[in-house]
Structure 1
Amino acid sequence: MQSWINLFLNQFKATTWLEWAAVLLGVAEVLLAKANKVWLYPTGIAATLISIYLLLNAALYAECLLNGYYVVMSVYGWYYWIKKRGEPPVKVSYSNRREWIITLLIVFAGWGMLYLLLINFTTSTVPVWDAWVSSTAWAGMWLLARRKIENWVLLNISNLFAIPLLFHKDLALFGLLTIVLFVVAIFGYVDWCKIIRRDQLTQTI
């Protein structure tokens, strides 16, 4: 425990402005998602572009692919949330059976694909771990883009495994950010449950 504290303190002192920007934008993104605000997407795009550069230097290649996927899904989600002018925004809801099938396919097919890519084309020392963190986050981001409440569950599965991985790779500041995101995601799930219940009550009136 003391070694982790020392690691964090040493990294805190050596943190670059790019790392601070990525962390602060990441916090802002998840807070905006918790509040169900569409501005989470431009904020998230900025955070992920910076993170790709930083994670490349740490040789977390699946994490880099994950962040590239975040950019694509953020653009898709931004469009999907807003839809066409004059149409109502997409409401928060639970996933149906088809969406759960797609989610599980993203998780397990993505895990296998990323693992094969990592062991064959990179120097990754943690291919199974890195691939799992990324594939579960892929699924969570897809659900978030469609405003499905289960996105918080998938994203927190990813966060749970990402925290020790980031500390293992000496990215203590990112590890601390992920702990914060884990806690915020719990409250995000609770808030979205309230939104769904409120909408259901409105429809019955």
Structure 2
Amino acid sequence: MENFMELDLLLQQIRNTSLLEWVAVGFGVTEVLLARKNNVLLYPAGIIGIVCSSFLLIHAKLYAETLLHGYYLVMSIYGWAMWKNRSSSGASQISRSSPKDQRITWSIALGGWVLLYFALRFFTDSDVPVIDAFVSSTAWAGMWLLAKRKLENWIWLNISNVVAIPLLIHKQLILVSFLTLFLFVVAIFGYLDWKKELEKKHEGYNAI
């Protein structure tokens, strides 16, 4: 009986999902599928989804998540430019993180977690500052790696996703939590696809 009531509540929440949330989810799905295919069009799709999601997150008082989406917007513009840049300073092809990249990634993740926690704890009415800050900081790290077209971006994005799912359910953003679960699954395949493409490129170099 209890399970039936929970399912009924879930269906009711889905039926009450706003048009804005449906639009955000639609473009979020499009973005991650294009990312898996290593297609630069992920960025314009992502920008539309980011703007829609930001309004939802502000309403839910997930302020670090909102800041995360602001960062997503900046990194989407930056990543779009980097992916289109064919020079040595660009990110026209998939590669692995260098030791320098790894140091920057960890600095973004850990430093961002501490800074966001204190900002949320002392300057907002957030009731989940530790988790909200963690989800945001690890996703920041993943987005930076995605803009650089680094294979490891999928790992960091999924660290964020796996913690974000229960947080979003707690905040009753049911459809967005389903989207995040979907992103988690696609990110696994994205990692495998990018890894396979990277290995093919190395095999091609070795054959020359």
Q: TM-score range, shorter-chain basis? A: over 0.9
TM-score by length of 1: 0.95
**Contact 1:7-1:170 at 8 Å conserved across structures:** no
Gaps of 5+ in 1: none
Secondary structure of residue in 2 paired with 1:65:
helix
Q: CA deviation at 1:6?
A: 3.5
Coordinate RMSD, CA, aligned = 1.6
Q: Tell me if 1:175 matches 2:177.
A: yes
Secondary structure of residue in 1 paired with 2:162:
helix
- Aligned twin of 1:139: 141
CA distance in 1, matches of 2:6, 2:146: 32
**Contact 2:91-2:149 at 8 Å conserved across structures:** no
Aligned length: 204
TM-score by length of 2: 0.94
CA distance in 1, matches of 2:166, 2:194: 28
Q: CA deviation at 1:84?
A: 5.5
Spell out, residue by residue over 1:130-166, the C-alpha distance to the aligned partner (whole angstroms, 9 max, x if none): 0000000000000000000000000000000000000
Spell out, residue by residue over 1:43-97, the C-alpha distance to the aligned partner (whole angstroms, 9 max, x if none): 0010001000011000000000000000000000000000169x99621111010
Gaps of 5+ in 2: none
Counterpart residue identity of residue 61, structure 2: A
**Contact 1:69-1:138 at 8 Å conserved across structures:** yes
- Aligned twin of 2:98: 96
Alignment of 1:1-205 (within 5 A): 2=3, 5-83=7-85, 90-205=92-207
Counterpart residue identity of residue 176, structure 1: F
Q: CA deviation at 1:17?
A: 1.2
Q: CA deviation at 1:11?
A: 1.6
Spell out, residue by residue over 1:91-113, the C-alpha distance to the aligned partner (whole angstroms, 9 max, x if none): 11110100000000000000000
